[in-house]
Chain A
Amino acid sequence: MAEIRVEALRKNFGDFTAVKNSDFTVADGEFFVMLGPSGCGKTTTLRMIAGLELPTSGRIFLGGEDVTFNRASHRDIAFVFQLFALYPHMNVRRNMAFPLICQGMPRQEIRTRVDETARLLRIDHILDRPVSGLAGGDRQRVALGRAIVRRPKAFMMDEPLGTLDSEFRDLMVRELRELHNSIGATTVYVTHDQVEAMAMADKIAVMNHGVIEQFGHPQEIYDRPATMFVADFIGSPPMNFLNVEGGHAAGDARVRLSGVEVAIPELREEVEAGALVVGMRPEHVRFDDASALRGEVIGAEYLGTTQIVTLLLGTARLKARVAADVPVREGESVGLTFDTARLSLFDRSSGRALASARDDAGAVLRNGTGG
C-alpha cells in the first residue's frame, strides 16, 4: 500500500498534448477516480503511473520513491484493463497465478493464494474453466482477482466496468467499493461515468483537454464546481447556466434575470459586463406561483420519484427537478425561485467559478447539511 504523488506531469504525442502539468496526491488507501470525457488524458495519466507510457516531463512518486522512469514490471502496481486482457490461452486459475509465477513463488503458495482470492471474489467454482466462455461479470472478477492476488502497492483500473451492462455495472460498483473497503489498497480508477465516480470515489479529479479542472471530494465537485465544464459534466441533467447582462462589482448580491431581480450569493470579485453566469442544479429550481420570475413549460420527463421539467426562461432553457406528483402542463407559465445559497457563479470567458459568499460557507456545504 502506498501514496501516489504526481508532480507537473506532462505527456505529448507529437504536437498533441494529452496531459498538461498535472499535480495531485492520492493518499495511502484512498479510492481516487479520474473522471472526464474520452480523450481528456485520464487514461494516459493512469498509464504513466503504471509505467506503460513514459511522461514527457514531470515526476511520479510511489510510496515516496521516484518511479518516473522505472519499468512497469518494477513498480509493483496491478492494472485492470477495460477489456480485462485475460490471457485467452490460459484457464482462470492460470490467469490468476500468472503474476505470482513471475515472482518465483512456490507452487503450493500460489495455489493457496489463488484459492483465497477466488473465494474473496466468489469465483472459486470457475477456477478450472477457460476464460473464453465466461460471462462479463465473471471476466471482470477474474481480472480483479489477477490484480488482487499479488497484493500490489496500488491498483490502476481503466474503465473496468465500461463493457458491462448497466444492471451488472451497479452490482460491480457496490462490490468494488466493498472490496476496496476490505483490502484498503490505494486505487486509481478511470471512468467517464459520473455515477460510478460519485458512488465509489473518496476523491475525484475531473479532467478535460489534458487538464485537471477540479480535484476534490465527490460532494465538493457536485456542489461547488470549480469550472463551468465540471458543472456541466457532473450531474444528470447537468447544471443550468443563465447569462446575466451588465457588469457586476464585488459586493453585489442581486442580478437581473429576464427583467426580474434575483438574489445570488454575494460576489467577492468584479465581473466584466456580460461575463457573469449563474449556475443552478435542477433540484435547486423551485416552482412558486407567487414569484415574479416566470418560465414557460415546454416539456417534462417522468422519472418515477421525480420529474425533469424543461422551461423556457426568456430565450434560455432551464431544467428543474421537481416531485413527480407536481402537475405540469406544456405551455403553462410557472413562477420560479432558486435556492440562493446553492447558486454557483461563473465567469463566462474563462469558465472558472467566481469567488462569492458561498466560499465562506464552503465547509458547511461539504459536510452535506444541504443535502
Chain B
Amino acid sequence: MSTSTAHSVVEPSRLTRTVAGTLVIVYALVTMVPLAWIFLTGFKTPPDSISYPPKVVFEPSLEGYVNLFTTRTRQTPEYMESLPPPQTWYEELVRSRQMVIAGPSKFGERFLNSVIIGFGSTFLSVFLGTLAAYAFSRFRVPLADDLLFFILSTRMMPPIAVAIPIFLMYRTLGLSDTHLGMIILYTAVNVSLSVWLLKGFVDEIPREYEEAALIDGYTRLQAFVKVVLPQMSTGIAATAIFCLIFAWNEYAFALLLTSGTAQTAPPFIPTIIGEGGLDWPAIGAGVTLFLLPVLVFTILLRKHLLRGITFGAVRK
C-alpha cells in the first residue's frame, strides 16, 4: 500500500478538512460572540456596560447579579449615615451607590414560573406524544393518515397568527396569566412535533420485541413499559430537548398572556429598569442564568440528542 499517492475516496483531503474546520470555527465565533457579550455584560458595572467605545477589558463586578435579585431605593446621604454598618457584601455594594435594598426582586418567581411551565409542558408534550406515536405506529387507528396530517397542520402557520383568538379564549376561560394555561398552550404547540418525531422512533423499533414480550406473558402495557420505552429513550430525550427549548424561549405568547403570577422569565428580563434606563448588567446576568437550565439539560442528554438526530439514517 503506497501512502504518498493513494488517498481514500471516503476520507476528505487535507485541504477540504482545513476549509471545513475554518468554516466551523468562524461559524462558532459568530454564534458565540453575542452570548459571550451578554455573559460579560452581566459582570460589568452599569457605567461600563453603556460606555462608548465598548469596554472589552473591565473590572468585574457582581452589581448586575445583585440588581437582578433585589429592588433598591435611593436614599439621602443623611439617612445612609444613620444606618448601622452593612452586614453583607451585597448590602455594601448597594450602599456604595447611595441605595438600600428594599426587598427581593421578582426574578426568582419569574424564573420558577419558567421552570414550572417549561418542564411541565415538556413533560406533558412528550408523555402525550409517546402514547400517540405508539398508537399511530402500532394500532390500526381509523383515519390515521388524516389525523397525522391534521396534527402536522397545526404547525403550518406561525402560532402568533392565532394570538388574538387565543387571548380572547383564555380570558373567557380564565386561563390568562395562569401556569395551567401556559402549560396547555405550549403543550398544544409542541405535541405535534412530539408525535411526529416520536412516531419515527417507534416505527424504527421492530414489533417483534413487543410480540416477544407478549408471548413471554406480559400485557401490552407491560411490554410497552419494559421493552418499548427503554428503546425509545433516545427519541424521548431528543424530543424533550426540542420541546423544552421552545417552551423555555417562547416570548410572544408569554408577553401577551401573562403579566403577574404566571409570567415567565423571557418577558420579564427586558423590563428590568435601572436608574435612567435599562439596567444592562442585570439583564446580562438574568439572561446568563436563564440560559443555564437548558444548557445543563442539553449537556446531560447530549449523547441521546446526537444519536437521536442521526437515528434511522443508517440501518443498524
Interface residues of A (CB under 8 A from B): 50-52, 71-73, 75, 77-79, 81-83, 85, 87-89, 98-99, 102-103, 146, 150
Q: Is the CB of B209 within 8 A of A85?
A: yes
Does the CB pair A102–B215 fall under 8 Å?
no
B92 located at the interface, meaning its Cβ lies under 8 Å from any Cβ of chain A in the complex: no
Take A85-B206, A87-B209 as given contacts and tell me if A79 and B227 are in contact as well, using a CB distance cutoff of 8 Å.
no
Question: A179 to chain B: closest CB distance in Å?
Answer: 19
Q: In the complex the two chains form, what is the Cα distance from A79 to B219 in whole Å? A: 16
Query: Would A51 and B216 be within 8 Å (CB), given that A81-B208, A89-B230 are in contact?
Result: no
A73 touches B218 (CB 8 A): yes
User: Is B212 within 8 A of A79, CB to CB?
Assistant: yes
List, in ascending order, chain A residues with CB within 8 A of B217's CB: 73, 99, 102-103
Interface pairs A-B: 10 shortest CB-CB: A85-B208, A99-B216, A102-B217, A85-B212, A89-B230, A72-B214, A73-B217, A81-B208, A79-B215, A72-B215
* 4 more CB-based (< 8 A) A-B contacts, given A71-B214, A79-B215, A99-B217: A81-B211, A85-B208, A102-B216, A146-B216
Query: B215 touching A83 by the CB < 8 A rule?
Result: no
B 195-216 contacts with A by CB, 8 A: 206, 208-209, 211-216
Most interface-central of A73, A75, A82, A103 (chain B CB within 10 A): A73
Once the chains bind, are B214 and A52 in contact (CB under 8 Å)? yes
> What is the chain A residue whose CB lies nearest that of B222?
A102
Min Cβ gap A80→B in Å is 9
Within 8 Å by CB of A98, from B206, B216, B230, lies B216
Q: Is A51 in contact with B215, judged by CB distance below 8 angstroms?
A: yes
Shortest CB distance A171–B (Å) = 24
- Bound-complex Cα distance A179 to B212 (A): 21
B215 & A98 in contact (Cβ 8 Å cutoff):
no
Chain B interface mostly helix, strand, loop or mixed?
A: helix
Chain B hits for A71, CB < 8 A: 214
Out of A52, A82, A87, name the residue touching B227 (CB < 8 Å): A87
Provide the bound-state CA to CA distance between A89 and B216, in Å: 16
- Inside 8 A of A52's CB, which chain B residues have their CB? 211, 214-215
Q: Can you name 19 A-B residue pairings with CB atoms under 8 Å?
A: A50-B215, A51-B215, A52-B215, A71-B214, A72-B214, A73-B216, A79-B212, A81-B208, A81-B211, A85-B206, A85-B211, A87-B209, A87-B212, A87-B227, A89-B230, A98-B216, A99-B216, A102-B216, A103-B217
Partner of A78, one of B215, B222, B230: B215
B231 CB–A CB distance under 8 Å:
yes
Q: Which residues of B contact A146 (CB under 8 A)?
A: 212, 216
Q: What is the CA–CA distance of A99 and B209 in the complex, to the nearest angstrom?
A: 13
Q: How far is the CA of A52 from the CA of B220 in the complex (A)?
A: 12
Among candidates A72, A75, A99, A150, residue contacting B211 with C-beta atoms closer than 8 Å: A72
> CA separation between A102 and B212, bound complex, in Å?
12
A82 and B206 alpha carbons, distance in the complex (Å): 12
**Contacts of A50 on B, CB cut-off 8 Å?**
215
Docked CA distance A2–B222 (Å) = 28
Q: Judging by beta carbons under 8 Å apart, are A83 and B208 in contact?
A: yes
* Of B212, B214, B219, most A-chain CB atoms within 10 Å: B212
Q: Which residue of B lies closest to A80 (CB)?
A: B212
Distance to closest chain A CB from B193 (angstroms): 25
* CB <8 Å contact, A73 and B212: no
Is A73's CB under 8 angstroms from B214's CB?
yes
- The residue on A at minimum CB distance from B229 is A89
Interface centre among B217, B219, B222, B230 (most CB of A within 10 A): B217
B214 contacts across to A, CB distance below 8 A: 51-52, 71-73
B232 to chain A, nearest CB (A): 10
Inside 8 A of A81's CB, which chain B residues have their CB? 208, 211-212
Chain B residues 209 to 252 lying within 8 A of chain A, measured CB to CB, are 209, 211-219, 222, 227, 230-231
Contact B216 A83 (CB under 8 A): no
